[in-house]
Structure 1
Amino acid sequence: MKLKRKIYVSNSVPYFYPPKNDKARPSFIQYAINKAKNIDFSRTGLDYFIVATRNFSEKNRFIRKRKLNSHRALAMRVIVQAMLYHYNMLSKLVQASIEQLSDECRLSTISSAGNKSITRASRLITDFMEPIGLIKCEKKWDRVLGHYMPKLITLTPLFFLILDIKMERLENARYQRLGWINKGLIEKGSKPITLDEACQRCKDQQIRNMIKYRLDQHNLKLKVNRAKKLVSLNEVEAKQKILRNLISRYSVIELTVMGFSGLKKQVNIEYFFLKKLFFNDQ
């Protein structure tokens, strides 16, 4: 009797689902994505080397060569499409986090406890694509929240070489994009910018957007935690706690202008907002 081979991944045939209601991508990006769809990465001859250690001793360090298995090759095909979709031609950065790429490629899994895992995508990127030189990852420290931001992913020339895309075509697309930006700047009465300046501006904007998003998510988490504590109380106790918080937040003049009815209305609004936030998080 022939035994069936065990499938050890949750989604053996991943597929890239672009974000809904997103703008049409530039023609070069569409061209590159179509090239990626038709490449079997398990047959491109890609190998990678793992530096392994025994007993953490430098003397016993050895190099082990491994081939790209079929499951990882399929995951790589869709990850490459997602990276190209979010690729900024000017900054050469992928404008998406590893978690977002994993979600859009259906590579993320949810445990029975409700915890999300993006291991399949993160290992593909950090243990394979980065070591062989397809991408470069850069970590930046978030001084506001006190830990690292999601990695900034840069696509290298080798990435496009694997897809059989000439660098001249990419450079032409970059300068075409720059010309479109400079046209808009000139119409507004501003000076045109160089390719390096455009690259730096795009990178800085991406970092600012990342910080803002993370800060918004952090503040939302704080509100959800506060909502959980308030919902555990009865309505009277919860509203009294909100009232004390509002009194400490506003000045005497603001409270006088607001009046008793205005303050009561504000308490009710915040109570029902936090209650709704709690139930939406369930």
Structure 2
Amino acid sequence: MYHREKYIFNRSPKFTRPKKDKSRPAFIKYAIKMASSIDVARTELNYIIQPKDPKTGILIKRKRRLNEHRACAMRAIVIAMIYHFNITSDLVQASVEQLADECGLSTISKAGNKSITRVSRLITDFMEPMGFVICEKVWDKVIGNYTPKMIILTPLFFKLIGISSQKLYNAKKQQLGWINKGLVKKGLKKINFLEARRRGKDNRIRGIFKHRHIKHIFYRKHIKAKKILALDEKEAKQKILRALVSRYSIMELTNLGPEGLKKQINIEYYYLRKLATSPIPNFY
């Protein structure tokens, strides 16, 4: 029998700012400081609030105390969510996968598959039913399934870290003022909170679609490269040759000549080897 402590990965997760660290608004810095000064997994709200099913609104029975492994994950994830929070749209501008990676909560199996279950379950099974976050998905017509969750932080989330609704509203009002100042300079109309949230949501969806499609294209090329390289080298290069002949015009093939074509085949073969052995990157 396995004991739980033997298979829990990273018992002390901590949020690490992304390499492309960006300057954050004063309110975000303040919120991170507040969240870091308390134990967000053990505050009074976690014991007072009765969780509800996000879809039906039916109360969910649960244990009064988060187990320590989930509590540790929550302490890190709350900081990560605040860091990526967009004040005017209420959106966390990061995917669940990105949050998991930055908190050291992603795991890789021996087969090379990534798992973000620990974070996904924390959000789906606890933070959303408690009312700290709202999760939304959008149908992707190109790939034929739903996009990753879009995470919205609620006023209750900020109450959890000791920030009142009024202080949150003041921060949103100030941020909107800066946005409208920039719009006026460009000769454009001012926007209200509702429009700012809609624009933020639209931008987030566009970003998700873009990165998702890039990842999907890379994955398809990755699989195709592995299939070609599973062949004998001579057979693989013959396949590349046929592809090049169909790609180039007669004039282009003539200009290349036998040596040029041979060189191009070797370049393509090297590229396929690199593509086949490269791990699928994160496209945040």
Task: List alignment gaps of at least 5 residues for structure 2.
Answer: none
TM-score between both structures, scaled by the size of structure 2 = 0.84
Q: Is the 8 A contact 1:90 1:195 kept in 2?
A: yes
Specify whether residues 110 and 184 from structure 1 end up closer, same or farther in structure 2 by C-alpha distance, changes over 3 A only.
Answer: same
Aligned equivalents of 2:25, 2:74: Cα separation in 1: 22
Aligned to 2:18: 19
Q: Deviations over 1:47-69 (max 9, x none)?
A: 476799xxxxxxxx996331222
The 10-residue stretch of structure 1 (239-248 or 153-162) with the greater mean CA deviation from structure 2: 239-248
Q: Is the 8 A contact 2:52 2:129 kept in 1?
A: no
Q: Deviations over 1:29-82 (max 9, x none)?
A: 111011111221343231476799xxxxxxxx9963312223222211111101
Q: Is the 8 A contact 1:49 1:66 kept in 2?
A: no
DSSP-derived class of the 1:190 partner:
coil
Matched, 1:83 2:85: no
One-letter amino acid matched to 1:134: F
Task: List alignment gaps of at least 5 residues for structure 1.
Answer: 53-60
* Larger RCO, structure (CA 8 Å, separation 6 or more): 2
Specify whether residues 275 and 89 from structure 1 end up closer, same or farther in structure 2 by C-alpha distance, changes over 3 A only.
Answer: same
Aligned to 1:96: 94
Aligned equivalents of 1:62, 1:31: Cα separation in 2: 33
| Percent identical residues | 56
TM-score between both structures, scaled by the size of structure 1 = 0.84
One-letter amino acid matched to 1:66: K
* Greater fraction strand: 1
DSSP-derived class of the 2:19 partner:
coil
Q: CA deviation at 1:258?
A: 6.1
DSSP-derived class of the 2:135 partner:
strand
One-letter amino acid matched to 1:214: R
The 10-residue stretch of structure 1 (271-280 or 136-145) with the greater mean CA deviation from structure 2: 271-280
Q: CA deviation at 1:15?
A: 0.7
Q: CA deviation at 1:257?
A: 6.5
Aligned equivalents of 2:59, 2:29: Cα separation in 1: 42
Aligned residues: 270
Aligned equivalents of 1:194, 1:254: Cα separation in 2: 56
Aligned to 2:138: 140
DSSP-derived class of the 2:61 partner:
strand
One-letter amino acid matched to 1:14: P
Aligned equivalents of 2:133, 2:271: Cα separation in 1: 44
DSSP-derived class of the 2:235 partner:
helix
Q: Deviations over 1:190-242 (max 9, x none)?
A: 33333322221121111111111111111111111121122223333222212
Aligned equivalents of 1:135, 1:62: Cα separation in 2: 16
Specify whether residues 193 and 161 from structure 1 end up closer, same or farther in structure 2 by C-alpha distance, changes over 3 A only.
Answer: same
Matched, 1:34 2:33: yes
Matched, 1:125 2:123: yes
Specify whether residues 174 and 252 from structure 1 end up closer, same or farther in structure 2 by C-alpha distance, changes over 3 A only.
Answer: farther
Matched, 1:273 2:271: yes
Specify whether residues 189 and 44 from structure 1 end up closer, same or farther in structure 2 by C-alpha distance, changes over 3 A only.
Answer: same
Aligned equivalents of 1:240, 1:220: Cα separation in 2: 23
One-letter amino acid matched to 2:97: E
Specify whether residues 186 and 36 from structure 1 end up closer, same or farther in structure 2 by C-alpha distance, changes over 3 A only.
Answer: same
Aligned equivalents of 1:256, 1:249: Cα separation in 2: 13
Q: Is the 8 A contact 2:131 2:156 kept in 1?
A: yes
Aligned equivalents of 2:256, 2:206: Cα separation in 1: 36
Aligned equivalents of 1:265, 1:138: Cα separation in 2: 50
